[in-house]
Structure 1
Amino acid sequence: MITHFHADHVDGLEGVLAGRRVDAVETTALADPPGGVDLVRRAAAEAGVPVTTASYGATRRIGDATVQVLHPELPGEPVPGPGDGSTANDASVVLLVEVTGLRLLLTGDLEPPGQGQVARLVGDLDVDVVKVPHHGSSHQDLPWLVSLRPEVALVSVGADNDYGHPSAAVVGALEARGARVLRTDRDGEVAVVADGSGGVRTVTRR
């Protein structure tokens, strides 16, 4: 799944496809920015993997996991974007994954407008794990984010980045709501382990 076409979300695709069996690549319908779109299409074509668009509301079973597309509510065929950055972020594919008694919300790089769209489309959500949108940026709909009531909040973020991610206010708000915040800049690789008991276990490795 390619949530959207910004470089930090697509540049590793060739490595992902190398030496692995991949049946399909799914993307958002917003084909923006063009350079990222071209990279994905080229890498997938070279690997012989079809590229399709994630369909809003689609639900499928993959192994033990049920995966549902919650956002964006876009047409099935790719459409161009304005190239302003935020529009592509807000067209991120959002997935709700349920596996072995756990509910995980994967949010891409949603900004507040996109977060508001998810809230309107889906209504109240209560999840065990949330992938914090946009690397923990300060640009969040914090009331919505904390309303998810996650036990664990994961922040995918580079160490010593120039953006100030993750925001201390965002981390603090999640922790105040009872979430355990794990961030890749300090904790390294993070895995969520579903053991069938309904609890959330995590493993980290630097």
Structure 2
Amino acid sequence: MLKIKEKFLIYSIIILVIASLTLVVFLYAYCPPEQLKVNFLDVGQGDSILIKTPYGQNILIDGGDGKKILQELPKFMPFYDRTIDLMILTHPHDDHVGGLVKVLQRYKVKKILYTGVVHTSPMYLEWLAAVRRKNIPLVIIDRPQTIALGADLRLEILYPLESLLNKEVENLNNSSIVTKLIYKENKFLFMGDAEGEIENDLAPSPFQDPSTSASLQHLPLVRGGLDLSADVLKAGHHGSDTSNSEKFLEAVKPKYAIIQVGADNDFGHPSLRVLKRFERVGVEIFRNDLNGWVQVISDGYNIKINKEK
């Protein structure tokens, strides 16, 4: 009887070991290593980007106009995950801030970055009131800086170059927070609605010396301006011809461009001239109006792109 029990115990241990090894192999084969997922949500004529970092952080850049954001987020966040670690409002136009009002109603938001530029639209004021009511920490972006998100992941804030807090800006598009996400060797550049004026500030002519700008000195510089090189470019201002200049594209040298734009919009976005410009420099284009949501997955060295359609 004892021998039978001993054999049973031995066999049980062997089976447990084999099962454990099988599980390890399965997890290694089917659960990819640390990945960065950048999801360009299909929110119609507006911007909204959900970044899921390898360290478990959720970063939301803009929220569209509010009509679709609550349908899009659950596609990339499980039902039990209701936390946005960092919310970034690039600028307070309704097609960027509207959805963030909805997000504040349904999700816990830990911290918010914005410029504090003056704007009096009801949507923006509603968002500000909700943020203050919930006592969410508001960080004013008033200069270029770097946010470390992990040992090999960082978010560089490239613009604004100076404080816009309580300032009136004639063209709110040019108050956009511009960011660059760097994961190991892969880079993503998010332009918000920044137009040519800002592109020129970030990528000045080769005859200008970027090192003379104290606000930029801690960021990587190359001849002619900041190191704007990126694998993936979120096209400025929905692919408008007021943005995405040829000189700017030469500085960025993107492999892929994502255009956040709604179907049959009233603004003629994206511009045919911009599309031809991208094609001329060999950039592969993805558009929310044609492709639905677009997901860019990076292991830090290689990029894979999924799309809804």
Alignment deviations for residues 83-140 of structure 1 (CA, whole Å, 9 cap, x no partner): x4xx210110000110242111110101111111122466142111110000001112
**What amino acid is aligned across from residue 17 of structure 1 in structure 2?**
L
**What amino acid is aligned across from residue 179 of structure 1 in structure 2?**
V
Indicate which of 47, 51, 75 corresponds to 2:138: 51
> Which residue of 2 is the match for residue 96 of structure 1?
180
Indicate which of 107, 116, 119 corresponds to 2:200: 116
Alignment deviations for residues 10-69 of structure 1 (CA, whole Å, 9 cap, x no partner): 001122223433211111242234545412211212333122212422111224630011
Question: For the residues of structure 1 that align with 2:157 and 2:192, how far apart are their CA atoms?
Answer: 12
Alignment deviations for residues 119-170 of structure 1 (CA, whole Å, 9 cap, x no partner): 2466142111110000001112522332111011010001110111001111
State whether structure 2 residue 270 is matched by structure 1 residue 166. Answer: yes
Question: Could you tell me whether the CA contact under 8 Å between 1:55 and 1:69 is conserved in 2?
Answer: no
Question: For the residues of structure 1 that align with 2:103 and 2:118, how far apart are their CA atoms?
Answer: 21
> Which residue of 2 is the match for residue 73 of structure 1?
161
Greater Cα shift, 14-23 or 29-38: 29-38
Q: Which runs of 5+ in 1 are unaligned?
A: none
State whether structure 2 residue 288 is matched by structure 1 residue 184. Answer: yes
Question: For the residues of structure 2 that align with 1:94 and 1:152, how far apart are their CA atoms?
Answer: 18
- Size of the aligned set, in residue pairs, is 201
> Which residue of 2 is the match for residue 140 of structure 1?
243
Question: For the residues of structure 2 that align with 1:33 and 1:92, how far apart are their CA atoms?
Answer: 16
Q: 3-state DSSP class of the match of 1:11?
A: helix
Question: For the residues of structure 1 that align with 2:266 and 2:241, how far apart are their CA atoms?
Answer: 13
Change beyond 3 A, Cα 1:33–1:203: farther
Indicate which of 13, 20, 34 corresponds to 2:107: 20
Greater Cα shift, 30-39 or 186-195: 30-39
Question: For the residues of structure 2 that align with 1:18 and 1:152, how far apart are their CA atoms?
Answer: 34
Question: Could you tell me whether the CA contact under 8 Å between 1:33 and 1:81 is conserved in 2?
Answer: no
> Which residue of 1 is the match for residue 53 of structure 2?
none
Q: 3-state DSSP class of the match of 1:145?
A: helix
> Which residue of 1 is the match for residue 306 of structure 2?
203
Which of these two proteins has the greater Rg computed from alpha carbons?
Answer: 2
Question: For the residues of structure 1 that align with 2:307 and 2:244, how far apart are their CA atoms?
Answer: 28
**What amino acid is aligned across from residue 137 of structure 1 in structure 2?**
S
Question: For the residues of structure 2 that align with 1:143 and 1:149, how far apart are their CA atoms?
Answer: 10
Question: For the residues of structure 2 that align with 1:90 and 1:8, how far apart are their CA atoms?
Answer: 15
Question: For the residues of structure 2 that align with 1:99 and 1:55, how far apart are their CA atoms?
Answer: 24
Change beyond 3 A, Cα 1:33–1:200: farther
Question: Could you tell me whether the CA contact under 8 Å between 2:236 and 2:244 is conserved in 1?
Answer: no
Change beyond 3 A, Cα 1:151–1:143: same
